[in-house]
Amino acid sequence: MPEVRTRGGARIRYDDVGRGEPALLFIPGWCTTRASFQKLLPRCSAFRRILSVDVRGHGESEGGDTDFDSATVVEDLLAVVAASGARQIVPVAMSHAGWWALDLRRALGPSRVQRMVLLDWIATEPPPAFLHALRGLQTERWSEVRDRLLQGWLKGLDDAAIERFVRDDMGAFGEAMWARAGREIEAAYAREGSPLRAIAALEPMPLTMHLYAQPESHDYLAAQVNFGVEHPGFHVLKLPATSHAPALEVPDMVAAGIEALVSAREVPIHAGAVPA
């Protein structure tokens, strides 16, 4: 398995499969691992080179024994990109790893990061209840708050594989990592306002696709569709899935959406639909 040594000597491990540019950089979110992309690897690597990373302190990567922040994670991801030799990348970011995708675009510039794929993110301003949960993760009540979050991920779901993923992958992380996640995600929303606002501020704005399954809210989808009308480079697809892990639940649709976005010409695409 490929690996890079980064600041402090931590080994960051990743999969490197498939061929071709731009390479897809799969980035799992806080308190999960690259197992969240396991069903996408064989589907996407048939068309593209895939770099699928375990971020610092997660999965098979090291460096989680001391505190670190999002800036350190971005440094690690930049080291992976440099070691891979990829000239262009398309970040495919799960949930709040989207903040790292935005920072990669800022660091590498528009010529190397021309497109982004975001999976199941809170793209608008976060609901007050979510901010409350982020703060709760940073208190002695962290395990209670974490359990409620994981139960929300499993609500209405009848899929043993995803249930195991949530319970055994996400549920395996302890207090320090969940508190760190709460701190860093809260700080990102406080700094940026919302992902949509941050995306709009990129010059030029990258061609961006948000593929998501939850929440089942007309207003949430409408806000993104309206944003896409104002910013033609942004596209959103609401997936027919019940979990917050569409890459595991409907991998064929997610892989098709990724490939459509990556292969599309930079022409206006109707928001709400996968580009042809």
Distance (Å, whole) CA 218 – CA 180: 32
> Across the beta sheet with 3-5, what order do the strands follow?
3-5, 11-17, 50-53, 23-27, 89-94, 115-119, 207-212, 234-238
244: annotated active-site residue? yes
Distance (Å, whole) CA 49 – CA 179: 34
Annotated active-site residue in 210, 231, 244, 270? 244
Tokens at 209, concatenated: 């696709």
Helix (H, G, I), strand (E, B) or coil at 50: strand
Helix (H, G, I), strand (E, B) or coil at 182: helix
Do 236 and 218 form a contact (C-beta atoms < 8 A)? no
Distance (Å, whole) CA 256 – CA 273: 12
CA-to-CA separations, 228 to 159, 221, 234, 237, 274, in angstroms, rounded: 32, 11, 5, 11, 13
Residue written as tokens 């790292």?
100
Half-sphere exposure of 106 toward its Cβ, with a 13 Å CA cutoff?
A: 14
φ, ψ of residue 211 to 5 degrees: the values are -105, 120
Distance (Å, whole) CA 108 – CA 87: 10
Active site residues: 244
